[in-house]
Amino acid sequence: MKTCNRGALAERVAVVGGGIVGVAHAWREAAAGAEVTLFERSRRAEGASVRNFGMVWPIGQPAERREAALRSRALWDEFVCETRVWSRPSGSLHLATRGDELAVLEEFAAAGPELGYDCQMLSAAACRQRCPAASERVLGGLSSPTEMGVDPREAIATAPAWLAERHGVRIEMGVAVVEVEPPSLVTGDGRRWQFDRVTICSGADYATLYPDLFAEHGLSRCKLQMMRTAPQAGGWRIGPMVASGLTLRHYENFAICPSLEALRQRIGDESPELDRHGIHVMAAQNGLGEVVLGDSHEYGESVTPFDSEEITRLMLRELKRLIDLPDWELAARWHGVYAVQPRPGVQFTFSPVDGVTVAVATGGCGMTMSFGLADKMVHSRRGALAGAGGLS
Ligand SMILES: Cc1cc2nc3c(=O)[nH]c(=O)nc-3n(C[C@H](O)[C@H](O)[C@H](O)COP(=O)(O)OP(=O)(O)OC[C@H]3O[C@@H](n4cnc5c(N)ncnc54)[C@H](O)[C@@H]3O)c2cc1C
């Protein structure tokens, strides 16, 4: 019998959205004993969660989120072990091609271990040994073992059946939730459902549920352009997932480095076009041998549906300065959109009415953080209920 707060019955929880955030909440709620139903409006989730690099990237998180990031990383180990989806604990390598990039990496390597980061500097030769793609321009790099690559298309496509079979979650794919009025919820096909609680993980969709509140909270969007190569021939592997000097402007962990500001300034002066399009470059190879490349950042309430060739050209220019791939032929280009909150932080949550929680805007780190964040949320709630004598 599942543990619950309704006498002998399990609490009935609806999770809206089958992206990584919805999957995380459905999983952690079910693991904690709830009777969960997951609603996804598409036959297969098609949002940001299938359009990303698949980088589980704890190193990018600031020290105060390190613990949650590592908890998430541990849950990824469980997820890949249970689902058997492809994954590679390849670690990460930040490559420096300029002296000021190297300086930031060295500062981070010096301060990081005391803050709980497991990382070290590598010489240019050691970088090329670990990553055969590292270009001749590479001066050195920062290596970390904690990062893991997954194939987001495979992971998100596999999750619903796994949640159903292994965790007893009822899966409703192709079913949009169009109204939430606790304790009931209405789906697009006119059915009315009863739940004790609803968790809304609707990503960047602000129009369907509580549109006024989304507008009031000032959430906006970010569009990212991406591409991937055809599978590299002959089983060639890139080694660790690769980030660039440009990336140092992007992830919050590097904010502790005194020379980051000078690096930002230099890039802004030298290549304003990169700042204009929010370009920093990264590369990750999946199990099919394809190298996923990106990305750019365009912020706004609405973003253009049209992709820019200039952005593609700039990303490829920067990538080719950093790495040499045996085959640069592109097999696909696409863009993804994620929710952006108005304040700093990794997730935006609010409760429009009792029994309903909205959990969105994991920004550029939803793959990395969602499992840990959902786990924390479910445990804090259960801890509070147990304290109040509400759990049997
Ligand atoms: C190009 C790109 C690269 C990225 N790279 C990385 C990375 O490498 N590592 C990392 O950690 N993060 C990365 N991110 C960020 C990460 O992908 C996002 O933070 C995360 O996917 C957001 O997940 P989500 O579940 O909130 O949104 P989504 O994946 O968009 O899922 C929301 C789902 O809710 C469904 N939905 C919405 N409304 C309803 C409704 N009313 N009823 C039913 N269903 C509904 C939608 O159909 C959708 O499937 C990247 C993002 C992008 C765009």
* Residue 295 beta carbon below 6 angstroms from any ligand 1 atom: yes
What is the per-residue pLDDT across 21-31, written as a single tens digit (0 to 9) for each?
999 999 999 99
* Residue 347 beta carbon below 6 angstroms from any ligand 1 atom: no
User: Are residues 163 and 194 located together in one domain of the fold?
Assistant: yes
Looking at the domain assignment, is residue 84 inside a domain?
A: no
User: Are residues 229 and 279 located together in one domain of the fold?
Assistant: yes
Q: Using an 8 Å Cβ cutoff, are 59 and 92 in contact?
A: yes
Looking at the domain assignment, is residue 381 inside a domain?
A: yes
pTM of the model: 0.95
User: Are residues 158 and 191 located together in one domain of the fold?
Assistant: yes
Cis ω for the linkage preceding 305 (within 30 of 0): no
What is the per-residue pLDDT across 172-198, written as a single tens digit (0 to 9) for each?
999 999 999 988 999 999 999 999 999
CATH number for 306: 3.30.9.10
User: Are residues 129 and 195 located together in one domain of the fold?
Assistant: no
* Residue 51 beta carbon below 6 angstroms from any ligand 1 atom: yes
Looking at the domain assignment, is residue 286 inside a domain?
A: yes
CA–centroid distance, 283 to ligand 1, in Å, is 20
Q: Is the pLDDT of residue 1 over 60?
A: no
CATH number for 184: 3.50.50.60
User: Are residues 165 and 255 located together in one domain of the fold?
Assistant: no
User: Are residues 96 and 236 located together in one domain of the fold?
Assistant: yes
Q: In which domain, by residue range, is 258 found? A: 92-145+220-340
* Residue 219 beta carbon below 6 angstroms from any ligand 1 atom: no
* Residue 149 beta carbon below 6 angstroms from any ligand 1 atom: no
* Residue 47 beta carbon below 6 angstroms from any ligand 1 atom: yes
* Residue 26 beta carbon below 6 angstroms from any ligand 1 atom: no
Atom 3 of ligand 1: nearest residue by CA position:
52
* Residue 206 beta carbon below 6 angstroms from any ligand 1 atom: no
User: Are residues 282 and 382 located together in one domain of the fold?
Assistant: no
Atom 25 of ligand 1: nearest residue by CA position:
19
Looking at the domain assignment, is residue 86 inside a domain?
A: no
Looking at the domain assignment, is residue 39 inside a domain?
A: yes
Atom 31 of ligand 1: nearest residue by CA position:
19
Looking at the domain assignment, is residue 362 inside a domain?
A: yes
- The least confident of 107-116, 137-146, 287-296, 341-350 is 341-350
Q: Count how many domains the chain has.
A: 2
In this prediction, residue 344 carries a pLDDT of 81
User: Are residues 254 and 364 located together in one domain of the fold?
Assistant: no
User: Are residues 254 and 300 located together in one domain of the fold?
Assistant: yes
CA–centroid distance, 20 to ligand 1, in Å, is 6
* Residue 40 beta carbon below 6 angstroms from any ligand 1 atom: yes
As a whole number, mean pLDDT of residues 303-310 equals 95
